[in-house]
Amino acid sequence: MTTLWNKPEISRREFFEKCAEAGAKTFVFGGLVVTTANLLLAQDPEDVRARAEGAVESRLHDTGLGDVRARAEGAPKEAAKGPIYGFVVDTMKCIGCGSCVRACRDENNVPDGFCRTWVEQYTFFPNGEVIVNSPSGGADGFGEDLPSRNMPEELGQLPVRGFFVPKLCNHCINTPCIQVCPVGASYVTREGVVLIDQERCIGCGYCVQACPFGSRYINPQTNTADKCTWCYHRITKGMVPACVQACPAKARIFGSVSDPNSEISQILANNRVQVLKSYLGTNPRTRYIGLDSEVM
């Protein structure tokens, strides 16, 4: 019988062939064993129940509205674990003053030409044309004349409606940006805040491209990715984000969605809220009141 060990004249080629064969067999057999073991374990009724509960729990958690079950039972289970934060933007109230953009710049040392939060101006014209404008993110206000409009004279040049939409990082539950980070520099905290580890980030820019909302940029001062943190250094000290504090129209509401008595929980309970680009399934924690279908 020819085996690996009692055939001294085995050639190098033969040796590697045998090694490859043994490796392949181990791989296939090992896979079978693991799969069978998993199937057998899943038959255990205790385990099945535990898994189902886990799934329900994570689903409740993933609504972005806190632990619904804990609220129903009147037991603030999430409160013991710490808050889960949420953000509401009321577009009906925004006056487009840009205070939020300036406050964010000053608070977070945002370099010129970049924004962690910005305000978009939507203007609708009688021919159906929509002009979206955001000069320097709205930091200098919106007093300027609008760009020229291409429409027949008889329709009239005056806009028919318009509004402002403040934007910021949506702090999604299913984050495309964290998934693509090759070094684990993007992460989400227990409170639901998506952050960037400036020490680990290598500035590859994958996350900047992955974000469908354009919330991220490469900071030219640090050459790392940067974005809105919901002012994590403030909210962990019991303050509100700089933009929320600066807003004179109270169009921005921040707070703990896991506390049913907080202002934001009351607003979420009493309003019809939407998210940006819901069809992408990123499940943002930043929610909007009065979001128009034209808003991208």
Partner 1 sequence: MNSARHFIRLLALLAIAAAAFFKARSMVVPADFGKLGHFRASAITDAAAREPRHLGSVTCAECHSEISDPWSKGKHSVPQCENCHGPGMLHVKVVSEDSVDAYPDPIKQNKNALRPTTGIRECEWCHLKTFERPSTLKSIKSVGEHITATGGTFTPASKCTDCHNPHTTAVK
The distance of closest approach from Cβ of residue 178 to partner 1 in the complex, given in angstroms and rounded to an integer, is 8
The distance of closest approach from Cβ of residue 41 to partner 1 in the complex, given in angstroms and rounded to an integer, is 25
Coil, helix or strand for 143? Answer: coil
Distance from C-alpha of 104 to C-alpha of 244, rounded to nearest angstrom = 10
Residue (37 or 239) nearer to partner 1, CB: 239
Residue reference for tokens 């994570």: 58
Which one among 130, 180, 188, 210 touches partner 1, defined by CB under 8 A?
A: 188
Q: Quick check: 163 binds partner 1 (CB under 8 A)?
A: yes
Residue (4 or 75) nearer to partner 1, CB: 4
The distance of closest approach from Cβ of residue 89 to partner 1 in the complex, given in angstroms and rounded to an integer, is 15
Which one among 1, 2, 5, 45 touches partner 1, defined by CB under 8 A?
A: 5
Using CB atoms within 10 A of its CB, is residue 285 exposed (0-12), middle (13-18) or buried (19+)? buried
Q: Quick check: 291 binds partner 1 (CB under 8 A)?
A: no
Yes or no: say if 132 and 115 are a contact pair by the CB < 8 Å rule: no
Q: Quick check: 9 binds partner 1 (CB under 8 A)?
A: yes
Distance from C-alpha of 117 to C-alpha of 108, rounded to nearest angstrom = 11
Q: DSSP letter at 262? A: S
Residue (245 or 274) nearer to partner 1, CB: 245
Tell me how far apart the terminal alpha carbons of the chain are, to the nearest angstrom. Answer: 72
Residue 90's Cβ-side half-sphere holds a number of Cα atoms within 13 Å equal to 17
Q: Quick check: 175 binds partner 1 (CB under 8 A)?
A: no
Residue (241 or 260) nearer to partner 1, CB: 241
Yes or no: say if 68 and 238 are a contact pair by the CB < 8 Å rule: no
Yes or no: say if 283 and 173 are a contact pair by the CB < 8 Å rule: yes
Residues 74-103 that bind partner 1 (CB under 8 A): 95-99, 102-103
Tokens of 277: 């680009």
Binding site for partner 1 (CB under 8 A): 4-5, 7-10, 12, 15, 19, 95-99, 102-103, 106-107, 121-123, 140-143, 158-159, 162-164, 184-190, 195, 197-200, 229, 231-234, 236-237, 239, 242, 245-246, 248-250
